[in-house]
Structure 1
Amino acid sequence: MDTSYPSRIEQDAFENLCIVSELFQQDLNIDTTEAEREIIHRLCILIGTRAARLSICGVAAICKKMGYTSGNCASDGSVFNKYPGFQKRATHGLKDVFGWSCHEKDYPIKLTAAEDGSGVGAAVIACLTEKRIKAGKSVGIKA
């Protein structure tokens, strides 16, 4: 079972969760009751929420360690870009870590999708690293 399963399960908006029923019947040959489908649906929401919150741990740790109080963080990947509600859950995770009380549009650290791919991100990091070296600042490497 890949990431598309919980994604499709979460998107099932029907009261009887008929998409969940079809997925389990057609792909896994498992009949489910409505109560089981509700549990499966809720579990997928919890797993997706946990994944989103775990995804921001590195961002939050770097921001705290470096003393960043605002900025933008671009994320590359199909889960961030396509999983239902993932970006919003990750953003709310940052809110909880930093204790922001403002409206979401005013969060000082923004998460956005990096549509240009990881190559652009690597180029930006290389440029920023060179800038830090020229300024005599640490780049995390001890010589």
Structure 2
Amino acid sequence: MSAPDLEAVLAWHEALNAGDAERLAALSHPDVELGGPRGPAMGRQVLKDWVGRANIRLEPLRSFRGGRTVVVEEEATWRDADTGEKTGGATVATVFRVRDGLVAAVVRHDDLEDALRAAGLEESDRVGQG
């Protein structure tokens, strides 16, 4: 995987954490695949709608990569839309697939072990120092 693919995933996190749904959509493939606790969905509009209601921040902790796949372990924080107060938090991991410089799939897992297994990656595929 090239550094630009990892950079695309990190830019995706920046847009999400800024609450910038338009930028997040622009960094994502038109048919972006989304997966998580509520099941699968597809498309930029679904992604934008999710950003508007999820009130989530995903702070990258560790990254792993192989092929066009990046797994990021993240500290997730949810906040109340009205008060901004923290309503929950957890360490999760997300499998990203990058195509043509855009995030083409985003599948959240409850933990790093599950995400690495789903992506066919191992601890030895870790990149960076975080």
- Which category of TM-score, normalised to the shorter sequence, fits these structures? under 0.3
* Higher helix fraction (1 or 2): 1
TM-score by length of 1: 0.25
Higher RCO, Cα 8 Å, sep 6+: 2
* Higher strand fraction (1 or 2): 2
TM-score by length of 2: 0.27
